[in-house]
Structure 1
Amino acid sequence: MKLRPQNGFCINKVAPKVRKVLLWFHLCHINNGLFIELNKATINMLRIAEPYITWGYPNRIPVRELIYKRGIVKRNHQRVPNSDNFVIERKLHKAHDIQCVDYLAHEIFTVGSHFKKAPNLLWPLR
């Protein structure tokens, strides 16, 4: 099985195990970022790729600003700019009670009960 990132971009000169971890996290491009929940498995994967990535715990205000400025929403497998709260409300309001960007940022920061759905709404941040 050959793993290839999207858009034909390839991570060159990287060990196969590290390459696989970077692909699992969708970190194919330079300066990409994402929010993940830390557990034993993800911490071990982060340690494998540690020479190529930085990771840490975010603050509330930078999370909100990143989502406002760089957040792009997944809608029908297409990239939709986060221009207003209507896109987020339509996707997450009924099932997860997330109504706007502030609620989305709060859910990501606090790793709330709907954390798995919240970051999956966004493409990796650039």
Structure 2
Amino acid sequence: MHWGYTSIGASTYKGFDVSYTDLIGTFGINFNLFNNDVVRYYSGFRLGLIWRETTPFPAVGGALGFDIKLSKFYSKIQFYLGMRLWTDYREDQKNHFYGDSSGYKRGLITNNALLQENGAIVLSMSW
């Protein structure tokens, strides 16, 4: 979409003491600076569920990032390389699974133990 974006993702993490699965949807706006369609900036919201064992927990957060268009030729399929940063408020981080909060690793932006900060280098495509 030219003005906005949506995405959905599912992950399973088995290597923890209590494994979990998540299903997260993201939606937000795209924008370009200086009428340059090679670099896309975006910002949006994340909503989803995280299952610890069989118990669902809500997750809500925000994301921002940028993509650089790799394919300069005209094609219906475009490839992008970018970077994304996001933070999620995760109810599963409460004491139910981890005991007291003394073992939480604090983030760069916040000291709230229920917020999880993340970053990724992203290869994506649009059609």
Give the TM-score of the pair, scaled to structure 2.
0.23
Which has the larger helix fraction?
1
For CA contacts below 8 A with separation 6 or more, give which structure has more relative contact order: 1
Instruction: Answer 1 or 2: which has greater strand percent.
Output: 2
Using the size of structure 1 for normalisation, the TM-score is 0.23
